Amino acid sequence: MALTGSLMLLACLSYSTIIYNDPILQIHFPSQTLIPTFKPAFWINLGSGVLTVLIATVILILEKVIPLKMAAFFNIQDDLFFEVFLIASVIVTQKYNSL
């Protein structure tokens, strides 16, 4: 997800370098000339790229901070992951019951 957002931002960066290039890029057709400018599609792509990178960053941070809740939220059922969780909960329960 972060890669997708980064590529969207890279596309916006490369497009903006074309627009601010000196001399201005002009594509000539027989009937008219095409001059690239910032249109709504550019701003939508830029906003989507920034939002995608922010969401990916939040998900990665939450994955490091609360991995069990994230696994439950995304319904990830990795057998090894839950086996380790089960063993840890049994150990904690045994220590609690022995007190």
Residue spans per domain, the chain? 2-98
Give, for 27, the enclosing helix (H) or strand (E): strand 27-28
Please give the pLDDT value at position 21. 76
Can you read off the two tokens belonging to residue 93? 């329960």
pLDDT in tens, 23-66: 778 889 999 998 888 899 999 999 999 999 999 999 999 988 98
Residue with tokens 């627009």: 19
Please give the pLDDT value at position 76. 74
Residue 13 reports pLDDT greater than 90: yes
Residue 1 reports pLDDT greater than 90: no
- For residues 9 and 53, the answer to whether their CB atoms sit within 8 Å is yes
Cα dihedral across residues 76, 77, 81, 87: positive or negative: positive
pTM (predicted TM-score)? 0.66
Can you read off the two tokens belonging to residue 51? 């939002």
Residue 42 zone, left/alpha/beta (φ > 0; ψ -120 to 50; rest): alpha
Please give the pLDDT value at position 78. 64
